[in-house]
A and B are shown apart, each in its own frame.
Chain A
Amino acid sequence: DQQVKQNSPSLSVQEGRISILNCDYTNSMFDYFLWYKKYPAEGPTFLISISSIKDKNEDGRFTVFLNKSAKHLSLHIVPSQPGDSAVYFCAASGNYGQNFVFGPGTRLSVLP
């Protein structure tokens, strides 16, 4: 039973437009969420995080929105660049000491 879901396996976006990657979770105990980016043959790289006391966190071109009632978060990338093409993983954890659970990932392709 997947506790963290990313229902879109892939997404294609034109350069300069907005990319929106979605993540849903089922465990109401999750209270800390992260997004990672992964290029082929490399380990995941941390992008941005959000805790459940916030509903938005912004870092440059990346913004994460959290809707706790819907158990949904999204990552917005504006403007999208070809270098953003990668697999994006959503991860969640809850309560001190619990491990991060990763979603299956969404492959983003930004077309020039």
Chain B
Amino acid sequence: DTEVTQTPKHLVMGMTNKKSLKCEQHMGHRAMYWYKQKAKKPPELMFVYSYEKLSINESVPSRFSPECPNSSLLNLHLHALQPEDSALYLCASSTRQFVEKLFFGSGTQLSVL
């Protein structure tokens, strides 16, 4: 199994809603990442978990809250988002932090109304 699975594929939410994005991998990878990609822009790193501990937070606003319940799962909890947060949210994993190539999921396309 060489897949990173993200759910949902599409999400529309209002600015007062609370929602969660989910990511799962069964490759035994010990590093997991959240990236944000706006249209026609490169992916930008948000968070990195290494061995289930948050190792990097790229100054992301607190309305985004990551969680890594175990080595296979990564969540991104969303609360009180702004319309400018609308983007493609990509999850990725690697055997360990940053040394190996990244395996990306297909992303969640988020629209904040």
**A interface, CB within 8 angstroms of B:** 4, 34, 36, 41-46, 49, 89, 93, 96-100, 102-105
Contacts and interface: CB of A to CB of B under 8 A. Distances in A.
Contact of A105 (B42, B90, B106, B109): B42
B93 to A, nearest CB: 11
Contacts of A89: 42-43
B103 interface: yes
A4 B43 CA distance: 12
Given A96-B99, A99-B98, A43 B45 contact: no
B107 A43 contact: yes
Interface of B: 4, 6, 40-45, 48, 56, 58, 90, 92, 97-99, 101-107, 109
Nearest to A43: B104
A89 B44 CA distance: 12
Contact of A97 (B40, B58, B97, B106): B97
Contacts of A42: 106-107
Contacts of B101: 34, 46, 49
